[in-house]
A = this chain, B = another copy of it.
Amino acid sequence: MKPRDPITRLVNAFRKLPGIGERTATRLAFFVLNESEEMARELADALVEVKERVGLCTVCCNLTEAQVCEICRDPRRDATTICVVERTQDLRAIERTGDFRGLYHVLHGLISPLDGVGPDDIRLRELLTRLQTPPGGMEAPQEVIVACSPSVDGEATALYLQRLLKPLGLTVSRIASGVPIGGELEYTDRVTLSRALSQRREM
Show the binding face of A for B, using Cβ within 8 Å.
5-7, 9-10, 12-14, 16-19, 23-24, 26-35, 37, 39-54, 63, 65, 87-89, 108, 187
Contacts and interface: CB of A to CB of B under 8 A. Distances in A.
Contacts of A6: 46, 49-50, 53-54, 65
Contacts of A31: 17-18
Given A6-B46, A7-B54, 18 more contacts: A6-B53, A7-B50, A7-B63, A9-B46, A9-B49, A10-B43, A10-B47, A10-B49, A12-B46, A13-B47, A16-B42, A17-B31, A18-B28, A23-B187, A32-B50, A32-B51, A40-B47, A43-B47
Given A6-B53, A49-B6, A42 B13 contact: yes
Top 4 nearest A-B pairs by Cβ distance? A44-B44, A13-B43, A10-B46, A13-B46
Q: How would you classify the secondary structure of chain A's contact residues: helix, strand, loop or mixed?
A: helix
A31 B63 CA distance: 13
A43 B44 CA distance: 7
B7 A33 contact: no
Contacts of A43: 10, 13-14, 16-17, 44, 47
Considering residues A10, A28, A187, which has the most beta carbons from chain B within 10 angstroms of its beta carbon? A10
